[in-house]
Amino acid sequence: MSTLSREELLELSRAREVLEHPSLAIRLADRVGRPIEGLVQRLPEGARDALSRATRRALDLSLTAALSTLDRGARDPEDWLHRAAALAVGAAGGAVGIAGLALELPISLTVMLRSIAAHARAQGEDLGEVAARLECLTVFAYGSPAAEDDAADSAYFAVRAAFATSLGKAAEYVAQRGTAGALADRSAPALVQLVARIGQRLGVAVTDKAAAQLVPLLGAAGGAAINALFLQHYQDTARAHFTVRRLERAHGPEAVRRAYAEAP
């Protein structure tokens, strides 16, 4: 266990600011000029169920991507390229409402997951390892507190601790069955539990995104802008999360957690 340098402490402080003060809802509210809470209450009848189903389908596709393709071709982060793709997909979804969001969300999450993976690799993660690829998927859970969470339970390290067991079991299952076997049986409890827990937290962010995106007259341009904010939120979160993990590998989890708690 070693002491973090001044530069590393600054990196950790910036990461802490992102992880402990997620700004997605604030950014979305600023974009549409209204409080997100009020927009959520005005979602159409049945929209929440549709969003829940779309979120689960999107995470199922993201799980497939995480297990089978994230170790191929991921390069240094090219945020502009992923942002351009998100803009295009968001524009299409914003033009046609909830039905469009249900089609757009799986594509958007896949684009975001590839961006997350690029940030993971840039911070030294080995995407040839199943655990590292699944770690990319869990980024969707950070900065997206479940509705019943209180402030303490929403803290970054509390969320990591809550996911540690399900993430470990899922990685172990894939290691035992192999990628092909795991993808053939995504109903395995280890994978179901991991995806369900991520979905519970991601669903809050998706609902906020949908509420902002469905403001009357917002249209395709607004949908594109909101999708760009959604992507930027998870790019920032990925950069922060994998910065913490890189520092933990270099200095040990205890030293990093202590420095994190003391960061301004």
Number of structural domains in the chain: 1
Q: How confident is the model at residue 152 (pLDDT cuts 50, 70, 90)?
A: very low
Each residue's pLDDT tens digit, 21-46: 877 777 777 766 667 777 777 777 77
pTM for this prediction = 0.84
Each residue's pLDDT tens digit, 204-235: 888 887 777 766 555 555 667 777 788 888 88
Query: Which domain does 83 fall in, by range?
Result: 6-262
Asked if residue 186 belongs to a domain, the reply is: yes
Each residue's pLDDT tens digit, 44-55: 777 778 888 888
pLDDT at 167: 95
Q: Both tokens of residue 223?
A: 């949908």
Asked if residue 210 belongs to a domain, the reply is: yes
Picking from 134, 98, 110, the residue whose alpha carbon sits closest to that of residue 58 is 110
Asked if residue 1 belongs to a domain, the reply is: no
